[in-house]
Amino acid sequence: GNSVTQMEGPVTLSEEAFLTINCTYTATGYPSLFWYVQYPGEGLQLLLKATKADDKGSNKGFEATYRKETTSFHLEKGSVQVSDSAVYFCALKSGGSYIPTFGRGTSLIVHP
Amino acid sequence: DGGITQSPKYLFRKEGQNVTLSCEQNLNHDAMYWYRQDPGQGLRLIYYSQIVNDFQKGDIAEGYSVSREKKESFPLTVTSAQKNPTAFYLCASSPLDSEGGELFFGEGSRLTVL
């Protein structure tokens, strides 16, 4: 079956630090990959996505590259801000199913 | 604006009472979902539906019920049979026609059982 594994949190960084949140997956077929962000007390919203191998998704300074050879979709940002503090979820859709598989989420805390 | 509206945002319930959480979307999406979120446990799928008058159980359907009488609406009832209902509940929708289609989420409803 499909699964998504994210690094355990919380990840604590100082403002302007470099961010990496690791995400690896197992899936049938060729999945589409997503990163969602959840700010405190809110629902999830799509941050970025990639639908085929070697695609790079990007938004708001965040990037992730679909690496089929390593089955990974790591989230990166060159310089985080306090406003980036949130929970980040990696997810996939695969195998003809419209039901996504989510990782457990990684909490990011950015200090001034 | 198009989107998903959940209500109420906060709800308090006494033990033994059923409560219904509302979810309405105007995105013309076929698929709708209900998730439960507990601290540190990510999202768990309760029910999902891909068409009017049809829905399927997710991973944790016991103690919950849903209906899908209209494409736009997918209410969730938390029944008295749900042993630990205090949680944050999220409704979502998506198109059916593409695996690349992301989910659109509502703002969530926080249920507290007193």
Tens digit of each residue's pLDDT (9 = 90 or more) over B56-87: 999 999 999 999 999 999 999 999 888 899 99
Best mutation target among A7, A38, A42, A44 (most B Cβ atoms within 10 Å) is A44
Rounded to an integer, the average pLDDT of B89-104 is 85
Task: Give the mean model confidence (pLDDT) for residues B85-97.
Answer: 92
Token pair 């589409």 is found at A32
Check A42 against B102: CB less than 8 A apart. no
Structure-block tokens of residue B11: 């709800």
Whether A95 has a pLDDT exceeding 80, the answer reads no
- Torsion, Cα B70 B72 B75 B76, to 10 degrees, reads 110
Nearest to A94 among B31, B48, B99 (CB): B99
Measured CA to CA, the distance from residue A89 to residue B37 in angstroms comes to 12
The percentage of residues in chain B with a pLDDT greater than 90, rounded to a whole number, is 79
Residue of B99, B104, B110 best to disrupt the A interface, most CBs of A under 10 A: B99
Give the number of A-B residue pairs with CB atoms closer than 8 Å.
57
pLDDT of residue A61: 97
Q: What is the pLDDT of residue B98?
A: 62
Digit-coded pLDDT (tens) for B20-31: 999 999 999 999
Looking at residue B42, what is its pLDDT?
Answer: 87
Give the Å distances, CA to CA, from B69 to A17, B7, B24. 49, 18, 12
Q: Which of B4, B92, B107 sits opposite A42 (nearest CB)?
A: B107
With bands split at pLDDT 50, 70 and 90, how would you rate the model's confidence at A30?
confident
Name the residue type at position A17.
A
Contact: A103, B42; criterion CB under 8 Å: yes
pLDDT band at A21 (very low <50, low <70, confident <90, very high): very high
Nearest to A44 among B96, B99, B105 (CB): B105
A43 and B41 in contact by Cβ < 8 A? no
Q: What is the mean pLDDT of chain A?
A: 94
Omega before B39 cis (within 30°)?
no
